[in-house]
Chain A
Amino acid sequence: MDRFEALIPAYALDALAEHERRELEGHLHTCDRCRSELRAYQESAASLAYATPLADPPAALRERILHDAVAELEPRAPRRGRLGRPRWIVVAPVIVAGATAAIVIAVVPGQGSKTSWIHSATNRVALSSGKGVVVVSGSRGALLPSLADAPSGRTYEAWVVRGSTPIPAGTFRTGNRPVLLTVPVRRGDTVAVTVEPAAGSKAPTSTPIATARV
């Protein structure tokens, strides 16, 4: 056994010193045998995870992950719809005082796409100060933000404000991609966006940077 092989089990536990870790990672590029050893030890390490008492994550976590994944779909491999090629749709600027943001989105309408309705929905309201558009179809709401990306260590959080109660409606960090609101939207609600700590908040901790009444 060479010295690299001796490092592999501790590497799989993330327990090596920084210099050892870097050294081994360099070596792994060129050594099939060590990669195969590592694969085996990583399986063992993954099994170890099950030794801790398992706790259910909050249901909202699943929604948030799927929601963010869908929101990121557009710049990824376009899924092909019935027409056989991706369509590009320009969401027209909404004529509301002060709102001039035109948002261009690559869309992939295929059957069953969770985002295709966004582009056919006709109920659109501009966010204040040209920060984007809120789209509503039935009770589904989406945000087409026109923002810089969230500052590091912070996240944007959308809210559906019903009466005076802000309901968390999803967090997002990328400022120019569609965001599906995680809660239904009703006529008369206000959609707001705040900047929050990276984990998101249960209630807003700052003043909204943009709002829209739907």
Chain B
Amino acid sequence: MTRDYLSDEGLAALLARGDEQALALLYDRYGRVAYSLARRIVRDGALAEDVVQEAFMTLWRGSRDYRPERASVKAYLLMIVHRRAVDIVRREERRRTEVLDADTRTEGADTTSDQVWAGLEAGRVREALAQLTDEQRELVVLAYFEGFTQAELASRLGLPLGTVKSRTFAGMEKLRSILEREDQWIASKR
């Protein structure tokens, strides 16, 4: 029985009925990006696994409270991963010292359709990031991938807090508009 054709939100509805195959499919779609994001932030494979496990279990346990109008499954899941990973680096101050273990295969042969899609999404967001000013991009990337708060960024970069805030806002606004414009373009071609 295949349910691979179901949308994320369709799978989320199945989760609420205790359907572990739906969880498996969501893991196959987002486990890799979730793990990569967590590992990028916490810089530790085992900790990253914990973060991903917690996030999927949160999705599983909370599936009956999940509200599609609040966030897509993808955004909701990656938000949980991000928040948890950032909590860890803020608490443990791991980020500046540890080196990634290099044993994991990265960006190898992308065979499944989920991986192909992930590759396209990666290209799309990198191109969008490239359209930000250097200052905007630096702040967005440091905040998202290093887990710095705006106050930390201000003191680290020697900038007034107000500047950090307005640049982050402008950078994110631009990123959003580029990505949304592409979404609309893609939707119009379907």
Which residue numbers of A lie inside 8 Å of B, CB to CB? 6, 9-10, 12-17, 35, 39-58, 61-62, 64-66, 68-70, 72-73, 76-79, 114, 198-200
Question: With A and B bound together, what is the CA distance between A49 and B49 in angstroms?
Answer: 16
Q: Is the CB of A51 within 8 A of B143?
A: no
Shortest Cβ distance from A159 into chain B, in angstroms? 18
Binary CB contact string for chain B from 96 to 107 against chain A (1 if under 8 A, 0 otherwise): 000000001111
- Given A10-B150, A41-B172, A66-B24, A199–B50 Cβ distance below 8 Å? yes
Q: Tell me which of B108, B145, B149 has the highest count of chain A C-beta atoms within 10 A of its own C-beta.
A: B149
Q: CB distance A69 to B20 under 8 Å? A: yes
| Chain B residues whose CB sits within 8 angstroms of the CB of A12 once the complex forms | 79, 172
Q: Taking A15-B149, A40-B180 as contacts, is the C-beta distance between A49 and B33 under 8 angstroms?
A: yes
Q: What B residues does A14 contact at CB under 8 A?
A: 82-83, 86, 143-144, 147
Q: Which residues of A contact B180 (CB under 8 A)?
A: 40
Q: Which residues of A contact B70 (CB under 8 A)?
A: 35, 39
Question: Taking chain B's interface residues, is the majority helix, strand, or loop, or is none over half, making it mixed?
Answer: helix
7 closest A-B pairs by CB: A9-B172, A57-B35, A15-B143, A46-B75, A199-B46, A49-B37, A50-B121
Number of B residues, CB within 8 Å of A: 78
CB nearest to A18 among chain B residues:
B149
Indicate if the CB atoms of A39 and B71 lie closer than 8 Å: yes
Partner of B122, one of A50, A73, A79: A50
Are B118 and A54 touching (Cβ within 8 A)? yes
Q: Are A47 and B125 in contact, with the CB atoms below 8 A?
A: yes
| B64 lies within 8 A of chain A by Cβ | yes
Contacts of A16 in B (CB 8 A): 149-150
- Rounded to whole Å, the gap between the CB of A206 and the closest CB of chain B is 17
User: Which residue of chain B has the shortest Cβ distance to A9 in the bound complex?
Assistant: B172
A50 near B33: Cβ-Cβ < 8 Å: yes
* Complex: A16 Cα to B27 Cα, angstroms: 29
Asked if residues B18 and A61 are in contact (CB atoms below 8 Å), the reply is no
Query: With A and B bound together, what is the CA distance between A114 and B21 in angstroms?
Result: 11
Which of B49, B71, B129 touches A61 (beta carbons < 8 Å)?
B49
Given contacts A49-B78, A56-B35, 16 further A-B contacts (CB under 8 A): A9-B168, A13-B143, A15-B150, A42-B71, A43-B179, A44-B176, A45-B82, A50-B124, A53-B106, A56-B104, A57-B32, A65-B53, A65-B57, A69-B56, A73-B18, A78-B18
B12 within 8 A of A: no
CB distance from A157 to the nearest CB of B (A): 13
Residues of B within 8 Å of A47, CB to CB, are: 121, 124-125, 128, 175, 179
User: Which of A12, A16, A17, A50 has most chain B Cβ within 10 Å?
Assistant: A50
B60–A72 CB distance below 8 A: yes
Which residues on the A side are within 8 Å of B61 (C-beta)? Answer: 72, 76
CA distance A61 to B28 in the complex (A): 11
Q: Are B24 and A62 in contact (CB under 8 A)?
A: yes
- 28 A-B pairs with CB atoms under 8 Å apart are A12-B172, A13-B144, A14-B82, A43-B179, A44-B175, A45-B75, A48-B129, A49-B81, A50-B33, A50-B125, A54-B33, A54-B36, A55-B35, A56-B32, A56-B104, A56-B106, A56-B108, A57-B32, A57-B35, A61-B53, A62-B24, A65-B27, A65-B52, A68-B57, A72-B57, A76-B18, A79-B18, A199-B49
Known contacts A52-B36, A73-B20, A77-B18; A44/B172 CB under 8 A: yes
Closest to B147 in A: A14
B11 interfacial by beta-carbon distance below 8 Å: no
Report the minimal beta-carbon distance from B123 to chain A, rounded to whole angstroms. Answer: 9
Question: When A44-B179, A50-B121 are in contact, do A198 and B50 touch as well, CB less than 8 Å?
Answer: yes
- Docked pose: A200 CA to B104 CA in angstroms: 19
How many angstroms from the CA of A60 to the CA of B151 in the assembled complex? 38
